[in-house]
């Protein structure tokens, strides 16, 4: 089976003049190398395609693949993660991970939480802030946690993200709206422990791979898994597997969210505990990072004794099975 690889290389965008933070969601060459080597070990033939523009050029030249392993995040627009899947759908070329609807929805944290809340899944109260005028409509009690509504990898999140009063909120939002014009989301701040749940599979066959607690060291930025904490996770963060009742409760919330959003193949769901110790949905990552040592999903799998090769096999097996079922 011939597998095309679509991806955004961070180094390509840095050479074009984008900043480290702007390119934070993109992949290292070593990630693409690891994915390709795993696929080769599993018996696939691989073909590196690159980003969405490279994909368009290859399709126009007549190239085709049996399946595309897609980890493209895209650069611009609220539908940037959906660009590659939408193009592949137009050519009837199957691919790994979620479809354009899911990737467009889940990039927008506010829209995602509307769906989650309508399904009865616990999530912190929230309001979106698209312009400075929306600040007048904030009715949530403080403290609040503020972040960009359509970013990942902790972009726009730092120690200032927890705000305790309106003036603090206003200053932070005016600053962030200049950098992130797609808008912000303000949530009721949850003071409890933070977890991420790894998931493999699609629909009723989805399974939780494990629950990873994210523990910030004393040197880390306070309050959350910020951009800096993620970038320097080896020095600032301890990862510990959760077990027992709390792990079971986290797995249930995460799987409920994964299934109701119709995510596919593999990814992560981030959770935090409220003051009573109940897990709440924060966000979902249907295109989770796949660096063998640096990304949360492989870190979780390594701690659970699931080799990287096995993770890749589960992703491909899930994709191939659902593609057969769709025919």
Chain centroid offset of residue 11 CA: 20
The per-residue pLDDT for range 286-320, each reduced to its tens digit, is 999 999 999 999 999 999 999 999 999 999 999 99
The per-residue pLDDT for range 180-217, each reduced to its tens digit, is 999 999 999 999 999 999 999 999 999 999 999 999 88
Strand bridging mode 67-70 / 194-200: unpaired
Counted residue by residue, the chain has a size of: 327
* Token reading at 4: 């095309």
Domain extents in the chain:
2-95, 125-188, 194-326
Mean pLDDT of the chain: 95
Name the CATH superfamily for 194-326.
ATP-grasp fold, B domain (3.30.470.20)
Q: What is the pLDDT of residue 21?
A: 84
Strand bridging mode 184-188 / 194-200: unpaired
Tell me how far apart the alpha carbons of residues 51 and 57 are, in angstroms, rounded to a whole number: 10
The per-residue pLDDT for range 233-251, each reduced to its tens digit, is 888 889 999 999 999 999 9
| Contact (CB, 8 A) for 135 and 170 | yes
The per-residue pLDDT for range 133-151, each reduced to its tens digit, is 999 999 999 999 999 999 9
* Prediction pTM value: 0.95
CATH architecture under which domain 2-95 falls = 3-Layer(aba) Sandwich (3.40)
DSSP 239-295: EEE--HHHHHHHHHHHHHHHHHHT--SEEEEEEEE-TTS-EEEEEEETT----TTTS
Domain covering 125-188, topology: Dna Ligase; domain 1 (3.30.1490)
């Amino acid at each position: 089976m011939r597998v095309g690889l679509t991806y955004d290389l961070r180094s390509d965008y840095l050479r074009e003049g984008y900043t480290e933070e702007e390119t934070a969601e993109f992949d290292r060459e070593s990630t693409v190398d690891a994915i390709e080597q795993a696929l080769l070990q599993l018996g696939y033939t691989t073909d590196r395609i690159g980003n969405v523009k490279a994909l368009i050029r290859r399709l126009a030249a007549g190239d085709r693949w049996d399946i595309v392993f897609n980890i493209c995040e895209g650069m611009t627009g609220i539908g940037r993660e959906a660009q590659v899947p939408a193009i592949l759908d137009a050519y009837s070329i199957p691919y790994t991970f979620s479809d354009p609807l899911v990737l467009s929805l889940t990039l927008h944290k506010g829209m995602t939480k509307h769906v989650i809340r309508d399904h009865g899944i616990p999530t912190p109260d929230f309001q979106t802030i698209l312009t400075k005028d929306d600040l007048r409509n904030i009715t949530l009690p403080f403290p609040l946690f503020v972040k960009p509504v359509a970013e990942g990898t902790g972009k726009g999140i730092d120690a200032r993200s927890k705000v305790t009063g309106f003036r603090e909120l206003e200053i932070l939002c005016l600053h962030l709206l200049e950098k992130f014009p797609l808008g912000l989301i303000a949530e009721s701040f949850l003071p409890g422990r933070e977890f991420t749940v790894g998931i493999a599979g699609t629909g009723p066959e989805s399974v939780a791979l494990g629950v990873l607690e994210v523990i910030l060291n004393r040197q880390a930025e306070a309050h959350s898994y910020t951009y800096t904490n993620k970038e320097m996770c080896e020095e600032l963060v301890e990862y510990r597997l959760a077990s027992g009742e709390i792990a079971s409760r986290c797995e249930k919330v995460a799987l409920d969210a994964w299934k109701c959003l119709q995510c596919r193949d593999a990814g992560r769901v981030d959770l935090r505990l409220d003051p009573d110790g109940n897990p709440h949905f924060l966000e979902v990552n249907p295109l989770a990072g796949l660096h063998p040592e640096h990304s949360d999903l492989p870190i979780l799998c390594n701690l659970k004794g699931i080799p990287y090769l096995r993770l890749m096999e589960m992703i491909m097996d899930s994709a191939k099975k659902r593609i057969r079922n769709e025919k």
